[in-house]
């Protein structure tokens, strides 16, 4: 009988994480490293890259982690990063996690209101969250399909399944503060992208699924946390490490028959 735990082992595989030097990305890196995976981080933030280098200095030295400063909204940079990865690891990446996004926090201002929302901000956030994911799917997915092996995971959100409850943001900041429309559009859009990719390259051995996590503790105000937790059946937000097993499941052969699915891990929020 096969040992089911072996299905979680990613030895010899290379995963690419966009926005990998961010808050959630670093947790994903840690999970993948624990499963013996090589990890490539694509990120545009010099500050986040510098911090990530300090955290994973040993793994960088051992060639287990490779960082590339990349603007994923520019197709030439996405293609260049793929070429660099092929040269570095002498192989096509078998895992792509589209994690990059601009999570524009509600601010104490009316500019986030739909009536006043800036079209340039709309373009900027959709460029990163949707265009960037499309370009990475286009080039990394094409390489995976040619290699007849690949696994793409798009990081959506519970707000990719439901609308934001604007009342919790107003109580947190001011009566004018709302969650921007762009966040919902991007996270819903990633689910559409997931279903398209899942059926487009399936016969070439490329799977694609979406992960829809709920809210994570990240130094939010007590008032905001209290309001959000009222909307969650488990009565609490997630800790950062509670999504590590999920991402490992999605990236490994443990989910080998999952394709085109949306895995919601949100404490039950979207069940209401």
The domain spans of the chain are 4-271
Q: Nearest-CA neighbor of 101 among 42, 56, 166?
A: 42
Task: Using the Cα atoms of residue 75, residue 210, residue 201 and residue 39 in order, give the sign of their dihedral.
Answer: positive
Using the predicted structure, report yes or no on whether residue 214 has a pLDDT greater than 60.
yes
As assigned by CATH, the class of the 4-271 domain is: alpha beta
pLDDT given at position 185: 98
Using the predicted structure, report yes or no on whether residue 105 has a pLDDT greater than 70.
no
**Structure-block tokens of residue 166:** 């604007």
pLDDT given at position 109: 45
Per DSSP, helices labelled H in the chain are: 23-34, 46-55, 57-61, 75-89, 119-126, 132-147, 166-172, 181-200, 222-229, 244-251
pLDDT given at position 132: 98
Using the predicted structure, report yes or no on whether residue 29 has a pLDDT greater than 90.
yes
Residues 67 and 148: their CA atoms lie apart, in Å, by 25
Terminal Cα distance for the chain, rounded:
40
Task: With residue 40 as reference, give the H or E element that holds it.
Answer: strand 38-43
Average pLDDT over residues 137-163: 98
- Are 98 and 18 in contact by the 8 Å Cβ rule? The answer is yes
Average pLDDT over residues 163-187: 83
């Amino acid at each position: 009988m096969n040992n089911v735990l072996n299905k979680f082992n990613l030895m010899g595989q290379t995963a690419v994480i966009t926005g990998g030097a961010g808050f959630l990305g670093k947790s994903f890196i840690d999970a993948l490293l624990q499963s013996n995976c090589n990890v490539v981080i694509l990120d545009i933030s010099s500050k986040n890259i510098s911090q990530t280098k300090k955290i994973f200095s040993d793994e960088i030295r051992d060639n287990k982690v490779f960082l590339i400063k990349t603007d994923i909204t520019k197709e030439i940079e996405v293609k260049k990063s793929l070429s660099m990865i092929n040269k570095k690891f002498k192989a096509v990446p078998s895992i792509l996690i589209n994690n990059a996004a601009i999570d524009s926090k509600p601010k104490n201002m009316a500019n986030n209101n739909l009536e006043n929302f800036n079209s340039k901000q709309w373009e900027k956030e959709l460029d990163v969250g949707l265009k960037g994911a499309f370009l990475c799917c286009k080039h990394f997915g094409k390489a995976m399909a040619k290699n007849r092996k690949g696994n793409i995971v798009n990081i959506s959100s519970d707000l990719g399944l439901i609308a934001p409850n604007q009342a919790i943001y107003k109580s947190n900041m001011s009566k004018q503060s709302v969650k921007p429309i762009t966040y919902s559009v991007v996270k819903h859009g990633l689910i559409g992208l997931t279903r398209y990719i899942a059926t487009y390259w399936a016969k070439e051995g490329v799977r694609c699924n979406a992960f829809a996590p709920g809210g994570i503790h990240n130094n939010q105000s007590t008032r905001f946390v209290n309001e959000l937790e009222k909307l969650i059946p488990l009565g609490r937000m997630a800790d950062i490490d509670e999504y590590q097993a999920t991402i490992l499941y999605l990236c490994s052969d443990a989910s080998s028959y999952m394709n085109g699915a949306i895995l919601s891990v949100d404490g039950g929020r979207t069940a209401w």
